[in-house]
Each structure stands twice: as C-alpha cells, then as structure tokens.
C-alpha cells in the first residue's frame, strides 16, 4: 500500500482487537495466554519491520500460522481477526507463487476453523477472510502496476534526458565541424588568392616597371610588352573568375534571385516593422538577371505603396514555380481603394513585365487591401535594365 502509516494503523488495531477478544473469551488471564499473545505480536512485528530476507519471512509466516491455530484452539471464537495480519503480510511481503500459496492456506484455515460451527458462523468467518484477502491482493496488484508505470516513466524520462544530452553533443559537434570546415575553406581561399591573384599582380607590377623604363627609349619594345601584359591580365582575370565560381556554392547561384528578394524584404521589415512573409514552392528554378530585376522592382514598389498609401501592417508574398512559368502573388491588409489611376510607377512595372514576356494584374477594393499578380515565363528574354542600374536603387 502507498500509505504505510495506514497499514501500520490497521496492524495495531487488529492486534488490539485480537487481544481484547482473547480477554473477553477467557475470564482469567494466565501466563500461557500472555506468552501466546506476546509471541504472536513479536513475531508479527519482526516480520514486518525487521526481517528483510525471504526465507526468514517464510519461517516467521509459518510460525504465525501455528500460533493462530493454537490461539483458535485455546480461545475459540471467530478466526478471521487472527488471519487479518497474515492476509496483509502474505500479499504485501511475498510475490507469486508464494503469495497465492499462503492466501490459499489462510482460506483453508478459515474453513478448518468453521467445521462443526453454525452456518452463520461459517459465512462470517470464511466470507470475511476471503474478502480481506481479495482486498489486499488487488490493492497490492494495483500498487505494483503503479510502481511499474512509475518505473517506466522514470526510464523514459532518463532516456529523454540522454537523448537531449546526445542532441546537445551533436549540435556542439556539428558546430565544431562547421567551424573547422569554415576555417579550412578560408585557408583554401587565401591560398587560391595568394597563388592566382597575388602572382598575377606581382607579374603585372614587374611588367609595368619594364614598360616604364623602355617606353621612352624603345617604343616598339614597350608596345610589345603592353600587348603581352594585356594578354596576361585577361588570362589572370579568367583564372580569378574561375576561382570565384568554384568558391561560390551552386545552391547560391540557383537561388540567388530569391536571396536578393529576401534581403530586400528583411531590410524593409527592420526599417518599417511591417510583417512581411515570403514563401515559395519546394520545386523552383533559378531566375535570370532580367526576371530577378523585374520581381525585385515590383516587390520594392508594392512594399512602398502598401505602407505609404495602404497603411498596411502585414504583407504576404508567394512565389509559385511551375514547369513553364513563375506566378508571384503579393497581398497586403491595407485600406485598399475604389479605383486606381495608373501612374508612372505602374506603367513602368507593366512595361518591364511585358518586355520579359510576362503579365501583370492587380485587384483592390475599399477595406480589402491590395492584390498584385505577376506571371513570368521561364524562358529568358532580352535584358531590360540599363548600365549602372542595380537592385538597390529606389
């Protein structure tokens, strides 16, 4: 039982009832009665509180059965009070099959004590004994299940802690590997720069010095050196570009257009506090410079108008890639408008989209925000931005 104090109270209360019953059934208290009562109590208390070895408990239990038989013969009366403590200990201190065996012995004792007694006596004596055994048996069984569940929970908790620790160790290990890889990559890049760019610049400096010394005295020689230097510089530039391409991840090249737009959105969120969320399909293809530029400008214009005119606090941007086209949807929660008069900004956007073979449309109404839909074909078109015009301009 979970509450040990309750169990101890039941034991002492039962002992008190047995002692009182012995006194009531015998008018005189003699030495044999006292010895029997004391032996019974001492044996029972030793078994419950002191004996921790299995065979000692079995010996004590057998001795208690003998004492109960002697007490019943000596004092008579109902036997179930004598058997209460035996029923408690057989179910609380022993495990199967000993527990079942001792319970059966206790029931047989109650039957034996009821021989030659009235039917009412048999029903009370045997019935109460069986009920007491059943109560303690199922109570102990439920308690064992709770303990097993608690042990299982503790094991799961320990396993969870181990998994958390292992996860933390893996994170530390991954961080260490990432840092080590980054250091190695930086070291490799520095070697590449030293071997290619450094060598090229050193050679160029030497040849420029030679040209400087010969340009006045030997123009033809200086001209030849100049041509040679041009060729060498062009080859060196190719080597540098090749090295940069190797350093630059392929995934970055494929997603460079989206990364540029994400950077625009992140900067806008920091400056304005507007909740802007960008999402795109799992399957996507790389945007060329024309497509990236057009989408960049449209997103930039839309975000500016949403906060300036629409008073929007939230913007959702979805880029849906298909096998043949890209559909970009921009939606804000601004105040909207009854009608739109297209100004220079809208006309410029429409022209840019048309030049790359796309379509541009929008929908708005009062209180419903502003929705822009842009469709761009996957095929590349002619470049539309002029020299010196970049993504960062407003």
Tens of pLDDT, residue by residue over 16-52, are 766 666 556 554 556 776 777 778 778 877 877 777 7
| Domain residue extents for the chain | 4-113, 252-377
CA–CA distance, 372 with 340 (Å, rounded to integer): 13
Q: Is the dihedral of CA 76, 80, 82, 83 positive or negative?
A: positive
Query: The tokens 């059966």 sit on which residue?
Result: 104
- Residue 391: pLDDT band with limits 50, 70, 90: very low
Cβ atoms of 276 and 317 within 8 Å: the answer is: yes
Q: Which of 55, 52, 51, 33 is nearest to 43 (CA)?
A: 51
Token pair in block for residue 168: 């933390």
Question: How confident is residue 381, by pLDDT bands cut at 50, 70 and 90?
Answer: very low
Element (H, E) at 259: helix 256-272
Distance CA 104, CA 130 (A): 10
326-373 pLDDT, tens digit each: 899 999 998 888 777 777 777 777 888 888 888 888 888 888 889 988
Measured CA to CA in angstroms, residue 359 lies from 9, 67, 258, 355 at distances of 88, 103, 20, 10
User: What mean pLDDT do residues 212-225 have?
Assistant: 74
Most confident of 30-34, 226-230, 374-378: 374-378
- pLDDT of res. 21: 63
pLDDT of residue 390: 41
CB neighbour list of residue 125: distance below 8 Å, 6 or more residues apart: 78, 79, 80, 110, 113, 114, 117
pLDDT level of residue 57 (50, 70, 90 thresholds)? confident
CATH of 252-377, one of 3.30.565.10, 3.40.50.11810, 3.60.21.10, 3.40.1160.10: 3.30.565.10
3-class state of residue 137 by DSSP = helix
List the structure tokens of 187. 């070291």
198's tokens: 């450094």
Spatial distance between the Cα atoms of 33 and 22, rounded to a whole number of angstroms: 8
Confidence of residue 90 (pLDDT cuts 50, 70, 90): confident
pLDDT at 249: 52
pLDDT the model gives residue 315: 92
Residue 152 clears pLDDT 70, i.e. is over it: yes
């Amino acid at each position: 039982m979970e509450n040990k104090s309750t169990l101890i109270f039941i034991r002492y209360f039962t002992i008190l009832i047995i002692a009182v019953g012995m006194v009531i059934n015998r008018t005189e208290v003699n030495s044999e009665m006292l010895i029997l009562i004391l032996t019974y109590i001492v044996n029972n208390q030793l078994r419950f509180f002191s004996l921790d070895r299995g065979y000692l408990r079995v010996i004590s239990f057998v001795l208690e059965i003998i004492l109960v038989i002697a007490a019943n013969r000596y004092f008579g009366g109902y036997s179930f009070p004598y058997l209460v403590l035996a029923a408690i200990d057989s179910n609380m201190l022993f495990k199967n099959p000993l527990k079942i065996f001792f319970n059966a012995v206790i029931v047989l004792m109650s039957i034996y004590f009821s021989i030659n007694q009235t039917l009412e006596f048999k029903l009370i004596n045997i019935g109460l004994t069986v009920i007491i055994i059943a109560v303690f048996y199922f109570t102990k069984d439920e308690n064992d299940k709770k303990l097993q569940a608690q042990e299982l929970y503790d094991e799961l908790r320990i396993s969870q802690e181990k998994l958390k620790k292992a996860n933390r160790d893996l994170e530390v290990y991954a961080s260490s590997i990432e840092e080590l890889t980054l250091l190695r990559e930086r070291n490799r890049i520095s070697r590449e720069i030293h071997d290619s760019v450094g060598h090229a610049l050193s050679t160029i400096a030497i040849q420029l010095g030679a040209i400087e010394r010969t340009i006045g005295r030997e123009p033809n020689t200086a001209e030849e050196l100049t041509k040679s230097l041009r060729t060498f510089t062009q080859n060196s530039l190719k080597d540098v570009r090749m090295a940069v391409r190797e350093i630059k991840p392929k995934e970055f090249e494929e997603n460079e257009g989206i990364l540029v737009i994400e950077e625009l959105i992140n900067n806008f969120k920091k400056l304005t506090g507007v909740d802007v969320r960008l999402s795109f399909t799992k399957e996507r293809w790389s945007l060329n410079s024309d497509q990236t530029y057009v989408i960049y400008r449209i997103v930039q214009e839309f975000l500016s108008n949403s906060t300036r005119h629409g008073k929007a606090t939230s913007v959702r941007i979805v880029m849906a890639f298909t096998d043949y086209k890209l559909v970009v949807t921009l939606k804000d929660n601004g105040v909207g408008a009854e009608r739109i008069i297209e100004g220079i900004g809208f006309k410029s956007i429409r022209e840019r989209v048309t030049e790359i073979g796309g379509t541009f449309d929008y929908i708005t109404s009062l209180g419903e925000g502003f929705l822009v839909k842009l469709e761009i074909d996957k095929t590349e078109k002619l470049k539309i931005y002029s020299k010196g015009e970049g993504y960062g301009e407003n």
